[in-house]
Amino acid sequence: MSKSFDVIVIGGGPGGYVAAIRSAQLGFSVACIDAAQNAAGAPALGGTCTNVGCIPSKALLQSSEHFDHAHHHFAEHGINAAGVTMDVPKMLARKDGVVKQNNDGILYLLKKNKITFFHGLASFTGNADGLYQLAVKGKVNEAIAAKHVVIATGSNARVLPGAEFDELNVLSNDGALRVGAVPKKLGVIGSGVIGLEMGSVWRRLGAEVTILEAMPAFLGAADEGIAKEALKAFTKQGLKLEFGVKISEVKNGKKGVSVNYANAKGEAQTLDVDKLIVSIGRVPNTNGLNAAAVGLQLDERGAIVVNDHCQTNLPNVWAVGDVVRGPMLAHKAEEEGVAVAERIAGQHGHVNFNTIPWVIYTSPEIAWVGKTEQQLKADGIAYKAGQFPFLANGRARALGDTTGFVKILADATTDEVLGAHIIGPQASELIAELVMAMEFRASSEDIARICHAHPSLSESTKEAALAVDKRTLNF
Ligand code: FAD
Ligand code: NAI
């Protein structure tokens, strides 16, 4: 006789554990199953985000930024930090500690919300009498059942054919977060979010980093003005970026990795590196789920097919996060998890895809929400743009970080904010105000009339809003 629940959530990443908590808050009996384990074999809740994604990458970005500041910026403040060195194993141990705190925190949250946790791999075994049956294979094998199933099984790094990950020399995001010593030469394939963030970590620590990108242009999803400014800043820092390349062969040898490729002009090139990160996107993960047992529909990419409400082709089976369409972002997964739990409860949970913020945690940080200038042009929407540089912001000068700007795009007729783009210090925090403005359908004038603290970076947001009406006060 299997244990039965109202809701079973498969996956304990940001999509899954949040769906489980919200379901429990709404009064359901809930189980959450997650297969991830740490080096000691203990549960490692939090998914890609906590174990090999958002959290560890931000820990390493912070450590490497401190090191970079000590080397290049402390002297400006009169601080003599000559002879500062980097203890990479200690940095990695700190990162592992941060990950563990988050793993344990999520386990605590499941307990607090009276969610039954199963540590193991879940697969469908069938459905009968309105209940879906699942097998959990772990240290203990279980058979469980529920009326509703929420699938949040996430994604895995895409493999470049011929460059399979060994996590020693050819690294996915997982290996890239565990490099035990600073490589002299680091190659990165793909100049997307992981390539830029992980490339920045190891460049700051002293590696010579070359990024090879297939597309002819940089950061295609970002606003073109932002991408241009970012390329300028990263190149100045010493990141080498090549665009329009075609990789022909990756040789993983004893002494390192050789990448043969054609450059944008079609000329044959070789890049020899000690380590190679391959970050060319991620693929939805339905491994082990046994989708066929219940007839769960997948698309040609292997993603679970869902409608706008995260409903699959099966009644009462839902899917959220990286395993379905849409941006592969932790906060998108969380929003979908909440929306699904509320829909199961008969409420009207909804995710507004137009106000999901994007953040790239490089230095300068890059953040945006809504439409880019190129999208507005392509859609034939008349708009006004207002831009304000951090160079003219007192707080940015005091911080010693004046790269970049805030740009606000507003409808030419109604003045409604249609998009906002930031490159510069604390862009990840500054974007929140603009996400809220868009959620409340604010106009640029609404933002311009709000009192912002002085001196603060957020004054640049107010000034960018004033710039939409060509009336900045400080530029
Ligand atoms: P996941 O987090 O992948 O969780 C899925 C979980 O399900 C895993 O624990 C897995 O073990 C488990 N699982 C899978 N199949 C089964 C099964 N059959 N049975 C039981 N358990 C199963 N996003 C951001 O928003 N901000 C960032 O800064 C950011 N940084 C990132 C940095 C890196 C290096 C990477 C790789 C990703 C980053 N992301 C970031 C993306 C973010 O990690 C994902 O969008 C997010 O984790 C997706 O959440 P999820 O719940 O859909 O899936
Ligand atoms: P990505 O989609 O951001 O970038 C992949 C890049 O690789 C693209 O520029 C693509 O053109 C390029 N590429 C693809 N095939 C190639 C090839 N054969 N040769 C050379 N270049 C090639 O994917 P990435 O960086 O792997 O990250 C995966 C996802 O993880 C992101 O899209 C994002 O959703 C998430 N993530 C989010 C972060 C954040 O929110 N700060 C941080 C890191 C990851």
Environment class of 450 (CB within 10 Å of its CB; exposed 0-12, middle 13-18, buried 19+): middle
For the segment 38-49, the average pLDDT, to the nearest whole number, is: 96
What distance in Å separates the CA atoms of residue 38 and residue 17, rounded to the nearest whole number?
17
Asked if the model's pLDDT at residue 124 lies above 90, the reply is yes
Please provide residue 291's backbone torsions phi and psi, each rounded to the nearest 5 degrees. Answer: -55, -35
DSSP H helices, 113-246, are: 173-176, 193-204, 224-237
Asked if the model's pLDDT at residue 2 lies above 80, the reply is no
Ligand 1 atom 33, closest CA:
53
Q: Are 3-156+283-351 and 355-468 in the same CATH fold?
A: no
Closest CA to 459 of 402, 390, 398, 409: 390
Measured CA to CA in angstroms, residue 355 lies from 136, 352, 433 at distances of 37, 6, 11
Catalytic residue, candidates 66, 73, 452, 454 = 454
For the segment 85-92, the average pLDDT, to the nearest whole number, is: 97
For the segment 302-311, the average pLDDT, to the nearest whole number, is: 97
AA letter at 99: V
Fold observed for domain 170-280? FAD/NAD(P)-binding domain (3.50.50)
Under the banding of pLDDT at 50, 70 and 90, the label for residue 117 is very high
pLDDT digit string, tens, across residues 252-295? 998 899 999 999 999 999 999 999 999 999 999 998 999 999 99
- 2 C-alpha to ligand 2 centroid (Å): 41
Within 10 angstroms of residue 196's Cβ, the number of other Cβ atoms is 23
Please give all residues whose beta carbon lies within 6 A of any atom in ligand 1, as ranges: 10-16, 33-36, 47-49, 53-54, 57, 121-122, 152-155, 173, 194, 285, 288-289, 321-323, 328-331, 333, 361
- 195 C-alpha to ligand 1 centroid (Å): 17
The pLDDT, as a whole number, for residue 1 is 60
DSSP element (H, E) containing 119 = strand 116-128
Q: DSSP class of residue 162?
A: T
Check pocket membership of 360 for ligand 2, CB cut-off 6 A. Answer: yes
Q: What is the DSSP string of 421-432?
A: EEEETTHHHHHH
Check pocket membership of 35 for ligand 2, CB cut-off 6 A. Answer: no
Q: Is-above-0.95 flag for pTM? A: yes
For the segment 161-173, the average pLDDT, to the nearest whole number, is: 97
What distance in Å separates the CA atoms of residue 425 and residue 391, rounded to the nearest whole number?
11
Q: Tell me which ligand sits closest to the C-alpha of residue 282.
A: 2
Asked if the model's pLDDT at residue 84 lies above 90, the reply is yes
Q: Tell me which ligand sits closest to the C-alpha of residue 333.
A: 1
| Joined tokens for residue 95 | 């990162």
The CATH superfamily of 355-468 is: FAD/NAD-linked reductase, C-terminal dimerisation domain (3.30.390.30)
What distance in Å separates the CA atoms of residue 24 and residue 43, rounded to the nearest whole number?
20
- Decide if 421 is catalytic: no
pLDDT digit string, tens, across residues 168-190? 999 999 999 999 999 999 999 99
What distance in Å separates the CA atoms of residue 95 and residue 346, rounded to the nearest whole number?
41
What distance in Å separates the CA atoms of residue 363 and residue 63, rounded to the nearest whole number?
13
Angle at 83 between CA 77 and CA 84, to 5 degrees: 70
Handedness of CA 22, 24, 29, 32 (dihedral sign): positive
pLDDT digit string, tens, across residues 392-426? 999 999 999 999 999 999 999 999 999 999 999 99
360 pairs with which residues across the strands?
366
What distance in Å separates the CA atoms of residue 20 and residue 340, rounded to the nearest whole number?
10
Asked if the model's pLDDT at residue 428 lies above 80, the reply is yes
CATH code that applies to domain 3-156+283-351: 3.50.50.60
For the segment 63-75, the average pLDDT, to the nearest whole number, is: 96
Domain boundaries, the chain: 3-156+283-351, 170-280, 355-468
Please provide residue 185's backbone torsions phi and psi, each rounded to the nearest 5 degrees. Answer: -125, 125
pLDDT digit string, tens, across residues 348-393? 999 999 999 999 999 999 999 999 999 999 999 999 999 999 999 9
What distance in Å separates the CA atoms of residue 297 and residue 314, rounded to the nearest whole number?
8
Asked if the model's pLDDT at residue 459 lies above 70, the reply is yes
Percent of the chain topping pLDDT 70: 100
330-344 and 14-25 helices, crossing angle to 10°:
30
- 167 C-alpha to ligand 1 centroid (Å): 18
pLDDT digit string, tens, across residues 200-257? 999 999 999 999 999 999 999 999 999 999 999 999 999 999 999 999 999 999 889 9
Asked if the model's pLDDT at residue 119 lies above 90, the reply is yes
